[in-house]
Amino acid sequence: MKRQQVMDTGERPYRCDVCNKIFSCKSSLKLHQSVHTGERPHRCNMCNKTFRVLQNLKAHQRLHRGECPYRCDVCNKIFSCKSSLKLHQSIRSGERPHRCNMCNKTFRVLQNLKAHQRLHTGERPYRCDVCDKTFVTKSQLKLHIHVHTGERPYQCDLCNKTFVRKSSLNIHQRVHTGERPYRCDVRNKTFSKIGILRAHEKLHTGVRPYRCDVCDKTFAYKSKLKVHQRVHTGDAGLIDGIVEFIIYTQF
């Protein structure tokens, strides 16, 4: 009852002594403090993976048991946790309900909004124990640690090439499968990477967001702006033609 009263009044009496973030209940503060301490007290008894939050462990354990109780009513895809289903549904609907109150940028996932807001506040709560470099998100820190360890944990089972990121492995595997999941709505042309699709779409929209600060010439692609700027610096050369060829053969 007392906790409900605190939430109703908006009072946030619990303060983190590391970053001064405040919370309405003690349990939220304790969970937040594990971000700074790295504590992950909940361990899977099947693979030893650890979690900060008990609910995340329970969702993870469903993967071992093959349980996927949450189903999308549009495409029938199944998920082990409700949050994954909700994220999937927001991707299908295009819904982005979480809005930054400083720049109005919107996000599908609340956690992504919180990470984005740190760009405004300058907060970088994740620190590398080796070199003391700090990061906005835990995932950025985990990727950075591979610089020190040299670890590339994701391996292609077809050609044995290794990657730091799982997403990079997924993209690479399309070289073998020929999968091109991203489609242009105008020409029906397909692409293996969403970034290439977005660059291609600029051909249809005429958007040229990259401007030379010397002569005001505009470009659809950042890479073409960089090549153009060599005209002003005196560094233009054979590479200009090579880059032009690469850009146009991609589309």
Residue 156 lies in a domain: no
Integer Rg of the chain from CA: 23
Residue 76 lies in a domain: no
In tens, the pLDDT along 156-165 reads 998 999 998 8
Mean pLDDT of the 239-250 span: 44
For helices 222-233 and 238-249, the axis angle rounded to 10 degrees is: 170
> Which pLDDT score is estimated for 206?
83
Q: Lowest mean pLDDT of 51-60, 83-92, 98-107, name the range.
A: 83-92
pLDDT at residue 213 tops 60:
yes
Mean pLDDT of the 35-47 span: 84
* Tokens at 172, concatenated: 């690479």
Residue 158 lies in a domain: no
Residue 226 lies in a domain: yes
Q: What's the total number of domains in the chain?
A: 1
Mean pLDDT of the 109-134 span: 90
Query: Burial of 184 by CB count in 10 Å (0-12 exposed, 13-18 middle, 19+ buried)?
Result: middle
pLDDT band for position 10 (50/70/90)?
low
> Which pLDDT score is estimated for 72?
86
Give the residue among 122, 138, 115, 130 at the shortest CA–CA distance from 39: 138
CB-CB contact of 224 with 209 (8 Å): no
> Which pLDDT score is estimated for 54?
87
pLDDT band for position 100 (50/70/90)?
very high
Residue 215 lies in a domain: yes
Residue 193 lies in a domain: no
pLDDT at residue 117 tops 90:
yes
Q: What is the DSSP string of the chain?
A: -HHHHHHHHT---EE-TTT--EESSHHHHHHHHHHHH----EE-TTT--EESSHHHHHHHHHHHHT---EE-TTT--EESSHHHHHHHHHHHHT---EE-TTT--EESSHHHHHHHHHHHH----EE-TTT--EESSHHHHHHHHHHHH----EE-TTT--EESSHHHHHHHHHHHH----EE-TTT--EESSHHHHHHHHHHHH----EE-TTT--EESSHHHHHHHHHHHHT--SHHHHHHHHHHHHT-
Give the structural domain span for 229. Answer: 208-251
Residue 182 lies in a domain: no
Beta-strand relationship, 182-183 and 190-191: antiparallel
The rounded distance, in Å, linking the Cα atoms of 114 and 136 is: 10
